[in-house]
Amino acid sequence: MVLDGLSYGHSGGAVQDKAAFVDELTSRRSAFPSIVLSDRSVSVVGEDAIARHVFSGETTSGGKTVPVRIGVMQVWHRDGGRWRLLARQAYKI
């Protein structure tokens, strides 16, 4: 689902590589009880695509649930006929 060179940027400024992203995702240290994606757009340029959306919902971490509303831009690359994530940057809105 992600490329080896993944750059995964969070709205708070942290940036993870593929290993850190996969570790965070599989650790289940945080969860998203609700997610709504809105204002979605995608533009394809050759073997790459730029996707944007607004991510709204809730996150639960350390026993606390807090609301989330961020903008997200992703860069996807077509690799062997399937789309894989190359970069993601979230930003506060």
Cβ burial of 36 (10 Å; 0-12, 13-18, 19+) is exposed
Torsion sign, CA atoms 93, 16, 59, 41: positive
Instruction: Decide if pLDDT at 29 tops 90.
Output: no
Query: pLDDT tier at 86 (50, 70, 90 boundaries)?
Result: very high
Instruction: Decide if pLDDT at 61 tops 90.
Output: no
State mean pLDDT over 21-28.
Answer: 91
Instruction: Decide if pLDDT at 30 tops 90.
Output: no
Instruction: Decide if pLDDT at 57 tops 90.
Output: yes
